[in-house]
């Protein structure tokens, strides 16, 4: 189907306007928002939520469907408390089911017509079909990442190495234009030599985004060519790291290359969530996204600092706002003020709820396995998958990428390393590295497979 016509109401656009740049010495791009008191932030969220709900309910077929089923109407919601108590929760499967039932590729989420859309991006598709993420010109993704780039040191006139992919937001020039920085566009498939050449020639402040696979490739290239990446990357103070949890080896290499690592993740497909220089959790921009973290067992709000599943509501997005959308990410979340002075929530990603494998009563996530594969030199780049035919298994089965799958001693070393650390029996299948890399998107591979 073609994109249906509709409109973004002009009165709704105040939250979408461009930012006024602060003094270059300011740590914060939008200080009045980034450091507002929790009570002010809560009031702002509530205003935006109560403005959003009737807008989204009247336009989103999926939202209307699920709220009617739950017997809830936006008129019933007068506060965030009401919302958290009564609003039904949606997940990606609900979106896909709606899409398949009604033949609507947007899964019943689209609220705006072409005039309200900048680009129709899609999720990576790591866990299934790519799902559409319609984006408006200056939406929460642009606003959130602009703040994060500023925190990482980018200022007008600077350059930033930008290596990612196009499917999420196209070439994403707006996030750089917001703060007047110039992106150096590179691909994950570009050779490490070109990356280092670009860094030497154009002296970027930030490399955004790096991942375990690219870092390992740069390290190998540097070793083979007698290059010191710390010199090539001499101007780069910060690395945004995303796609997967940062491995210990990657963290060590970035430190050796003189970069402060800012880990990042997707905040429930609404915007990004990135660590500040304090390294004390990813900041979730709560003026843009209402974040909850719920105990998966009870569905109730988990305590501050505790573990729960991240559930998000997009407060300012008008193209296809997600309302109480279950991300599938297990996080630890706190709303205590960060040492950087920001008051918004911070989170640590523990893994995907669906990635856990239960062995002998223990829940094991890929992040638990990672360092013990890295510890085996032949597979230090930790290209591996957990083979999980069902959620509960008797043994931990790993598929590990290596340059020489015939060398069975590597399998023995991996099994011993992981088994000793986790205390579970381990089986290891070795495959060619390329076989796993082909499973991309390029910045990550699916870490759990059924077979």
Q: Which stretch binds other proteins (CB under 8 A): 189-197, 257-265, 302-310, 379-387?
A: 189-197
Least Cβ distance, residue 197 to other proteins (angstroms)? 7
The residue among 137, 143, 177, 144 whose CA lies nearest residue 160 is 177
Task: Pick the closest to residue 131 from 141, 139, 121 (CA basis).
Answer: 121
The CB-of-52 to other proteins minimum distance in angstroms stands at 22
Single out the residue of 282, 248, 254 nearest to residue 267, CA to CA: 282
Min dist CB 451 to other proteins, Å, is 19
Q: Which of 18, 165, 424, 446 is close enough to bind other proteins by CB under 8 A? A: 165
Spatial separation of the C-alpha atoms in residues 402 and 414, rounded to whole Å: 11
Query: Considering the complex, what minimum distance in angstroms separates the CB of residue 240 from other proteins?
Result: 15
Over the window 95 to 124, marking each residue x when it contacts other proteins by CB under 8 A and - when it does not, the resulting string is ----x-----x-------xxx-xxxxxx--
Select from 28-36, 192-200, 369-377, 398-406 the region that touches other proteins (CB under 8 A): 192-200
Q: What is the dihedral of CA 416, 419, 421, 422, to 10 degrees?
A: 170
Q: Does 203 bind other proteins (CB under 8 A)?
A: yes
221 binds other proteins (CB under 8 A): no
Using rule CB under 8 A, residue 82 touches other proteins: no
- Beta pairing partners, 426: 396
The C-alpha atoms of residue 255 and residue 275 are separated, in whole angstroms, by 16
Cα–Cα dist 107/103, whole Å: 8
Select the span of 14-22, 179-187, 248-256, 346-354 touching other proteins (CB under 8 A): 179-187
Residues 4-43 that bind other proteins (CB under 8 A): 5
The interface mask with other proteins, positions 53-72, x = CB under 8 A, is --------------------
Contact call for residues 323 and 178 (beta carbons, < 8 A): no
Q: Read out DSSP for 13-55?
A: GGGGSPPPP--TT-S-SSHHHHT--HHHHHHHHHHHHHHHHHH
* CA triple 349-353-359, angle to 5 deg: 110
Half-sphere exposure of 323 (CA within 13 A, CB side): 34
Q: Return d(Cα 110, Cα 11) in angstroms, integer.
A: 18
237 within 8 A of 260, measured Cβ to Cβ: yes
Q: How long a stretch of residues is the chain?
A: 451
Q: How far is the CB of 82 from other proteins (least distance, A)?
A: 35
Question: Any contact of residue 171 with other proteins (CB under 8 A)?
Answer: yes
User: What Rg do the C-alpha atoms of the chain give, in angstroms?
Assistant: 22
Q: Which of 197, 220, 223, 429 binds other proteins (CB under 8 A)?
A: 197
- Among 384, 292, 369, smallest CA distance to 335 is for 292
Q: Decide if residue 93 touches other proteins (CB under 8 A).
A: no
Give the number of residues in contact with other proteins, rule: CB under 8 A.
52
Q: Which one among 40, 44, 126, 185 touches other proteins, defined by CB under 8 A?
A: 185
Of residues 121-160, which lie at the interface with other proteins (CB under 8 A)?
A: 121-122, 125, 129-130, 157, 159
Q: Which of 152, 186, 213, 369 binds other proteins (CB under 8 A)?
A: 186
User: Residues in the site for other proteins, rule: CB under 8 A?
Assistant: 1-3, 5, 99, 105, 113-115, 117-122, 125, 129-130, 157, 159, 162-171, 173, 176-177, 182-187, 189-190, 194, 197-198, 200-203, 438, 440-442
């Amino acid at each position: 189907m073609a994109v249906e016509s509709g409109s973004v109401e002009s009165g709704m656009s105040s939250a979408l306007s461009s930012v006024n740049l602060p003094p270059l010495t300011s740590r914060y791009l939008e200080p009045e928002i980034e450091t507002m008191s929790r009570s002010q932030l809560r009031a702002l969220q509530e205003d935006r939520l109560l403005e959003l709900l009737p807008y989204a309910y009247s336009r989103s077929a999926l939202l209307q469907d699920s709220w009617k089923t739950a017997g809830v109407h936006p008129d019933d919601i007068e506060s965030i408390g009401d919302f958290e108590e009564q609003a039904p929760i949606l997940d990606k499967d609900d979106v896909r089911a709606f899409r398949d039932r009604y033949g609507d590729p947007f899964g019943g989420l689209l609220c705006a017509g072409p005039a309200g859309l900048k680009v129709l991006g899609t999720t990576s598709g790591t866990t299934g079909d790519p799902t559409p993420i319609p984006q408006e010109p200056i939406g929460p993704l642009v606003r959130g990442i602009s703040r994060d780039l500023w925190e990482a040191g980018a200022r007008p006139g600077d350059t930033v190495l930008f290596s990612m992919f196009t499917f999420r937001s196209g070439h994403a020039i707006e996030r750089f234009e917001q703060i007047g920085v110039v992106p150096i566009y590179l691909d994950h498939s570009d050779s490490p030599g070109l990356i280092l050449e670009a860094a030497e020639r154009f002296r970027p402040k930030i490399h955004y985004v790096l991942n375990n696979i690219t870092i390992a490739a740069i390290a190998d290239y540097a070793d083979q060519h007698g290059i010191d990446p710390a010199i090539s990357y001499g101007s780069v103070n910060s690395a945004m790291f995303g796609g997967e949890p940062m491995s210990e080896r990657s963290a060590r290499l970035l430190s050796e290359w003189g970069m402060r690592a800012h880990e990042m993740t997707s905040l429930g497909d609404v915007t990004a969530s990135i660590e500040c220089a304090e390294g004390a959790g990813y900041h979730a921009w709560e003026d843009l996204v209402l974040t909850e973290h719920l105990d998966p067992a009870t569905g109730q709000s988990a305590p501050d600092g505790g573990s729960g599943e991240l559930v998000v509501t997009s407060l300012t997005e008008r193209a296809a706002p997600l309302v109480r959308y279950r991300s599938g990410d297990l996080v630890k979340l706190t709303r205590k003020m960060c040492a950087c002075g920001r008051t918004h929530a911070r989170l640590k990603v523990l893994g995907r709820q669906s990635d856990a494998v239960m062995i002998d009563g223990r829940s094991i996530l890929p992040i638990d396995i990672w360092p013990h594969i890295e510890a085996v030199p032949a597979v230090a780049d930790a290209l591996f998958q957990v083979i999980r035919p069902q959620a509960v298994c008797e043994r931990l089965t790993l598929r590990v990428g290596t340059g020489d799958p015939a060398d069975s001693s590597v399998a023995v070393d991996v099994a011993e390393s992981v088994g000793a650390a986790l205390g579970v029996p381990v089986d290891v299948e070795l495959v060619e590295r390329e076989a796993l890399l082909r499973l991309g998107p390029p910045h990550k591979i699916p870490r759990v497979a059924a077979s």
